[in-house]
Amino acid sequence: MMSSVVPPTGTLVIYAFAAAFLLVFVGIPFLACLYYVRIGNELRIVSRRTRVGAWAGFAACILVMAVFAPLRVLGPFPDSVWFWLAAASFVGGVGLLTIAASNADWYRALGIESDRAGFIHDGPVRVTGDVRPVDDALVGPFSDEPCLAYAASVQERRWIPNSRSSSSTMVPVAVDSDATQFYVDDGSGELLVDPEAADVLPADPADVFARDVTIEVEGDERPPAHVVERVDELGIGSTSRDRSYREAHIQPGDEVTVVGHCESVGHGYASNRVVADAGESPAFVVATGSLEDVRSSVDMLVRWNAMAGSGLTAVGLLAMVWLGL
């Protein structure tokens, strides 16, 4: 016969107090922060531009916890500015390494031998050329200009209270992106690209904050009519707060570099060489710019982040261990 042991009343009270404390002082503020500061939108923007997915971010958090937890078991963290500077160095280094690791496939993909669009065979390809739409082009939500791909965000000024007063910051309240099929023409022929499964980077891959169009609207002003229409579609409505409407895009005639897997579809005059997935290629990415520009940008994104991340992580970890012992 099994017997259950009921914890002492004092222990239950402590557990209840701890749960209530976490709910009131951690859970509720965190949920309010998610709603008010729109951390989710901010993370979506950064994730899209850096190509850091949810699993990579989760793995980075686990790595950080795996380091801090043993240090905490050994004793309380030192009350020293140098220790927390070392901790910041370590966390920042892990972040840079995560960005480098998330783009390693893109870095390897640029090692694929360059192809001419008119002489491509099935398999991994890398092509650079000018783009044109297959059918009607998209319309940029804020530029109101024809484009083949765009990434847009709406930021709104919010007042964030702190311990002494309050300060304002621009907070993402909506994000949107879209892409349509297009041809890449390098002078030797055309290659059809279906970007539905691609990582489409309408701006310099290494420049997370690049934008082609930015419309600043103060709280007492009304945005242009086409912006109002698109804002209504996003479901965020009008506001009396300052807003910034930002858009990066790829327009017809722009030069892009495409890496992916090519496959022949159809027969005879109706045949097309189509890039629609990664297949045997390390990645399926569409980036604006010439091969030299994209290669230089990705090299900076991967190699420099890897070197800086390794240095910051090593220095931060060694300093934390030394200061914590």
Is 70 inside any structural domain?
Answer: yes
195 shares a domain with 53: no
| Domain ranges, residue 44 | 9-104+305-324
271 shares a domain with 186: yes
Give the model's pLDDT for residue 252: 92
Give the model's pLDDT for residue 318: 93
Give the model's pLDDT for residue 16: 66
Give the model's pLDDT for residue 44: 66
Give the model's pLDDT for residue 270: 44
- State how far the Cα of 5 lies from the Cα of 48, in Å rounded to an integer: 51
Structurally, the chain folds into a number of domains equal to 2
124 shares a domain with 162: yes
77 shares a domain with 128: no
180 shares a domain with 285: yes
The 10s digit of each residue's pLDDT in 44-88 is 666 766 778 778 888 888 888 888 888 877 778 888 888 889 999
DSSP for 37-98 reads T-HHHHHHHHHHHHT--HHHHHHHHHHHHHHHHHHHHHSPPP--HHHHHHHHHHHHHHHHHH
187 shares a domain with 78: no
Alpha carbon separation from 116 to 132, 134, 255, 283, 311 (Å, rounded): 17, 19, 14, 19, 40
Is 317 inside any structural domain?
Answer: yes
206 shares a domain with 129: yes
pTM of the model: 0.69
- State how far the Cα of 262 lies from the Cα of 259, in Å rounded to an integer: 9
Question: Two tokens at 65?
Answer: 């916890």
State the chain's mean pLDDT as an integer. Answer: 79
pLDDT means per 10 residues, the chain with 325 residues, are 52 62 60 54 67 83 86 80 90 92 86 79 88 90 90 80 63 83 89 86 59 79 86 79 87 90 65 78 83 82 91 93 79
283 shares a domain with 139: yes
249 shares a domain with 145: yes
Give the model's pLDDT for residue 264: 80
Is 197 inside any structural domain?
Answer: yes
Is 250 inside any structural domain?
Answer: yes
251 shares a domain with 125: yes
252 shares a domain with 146: yes
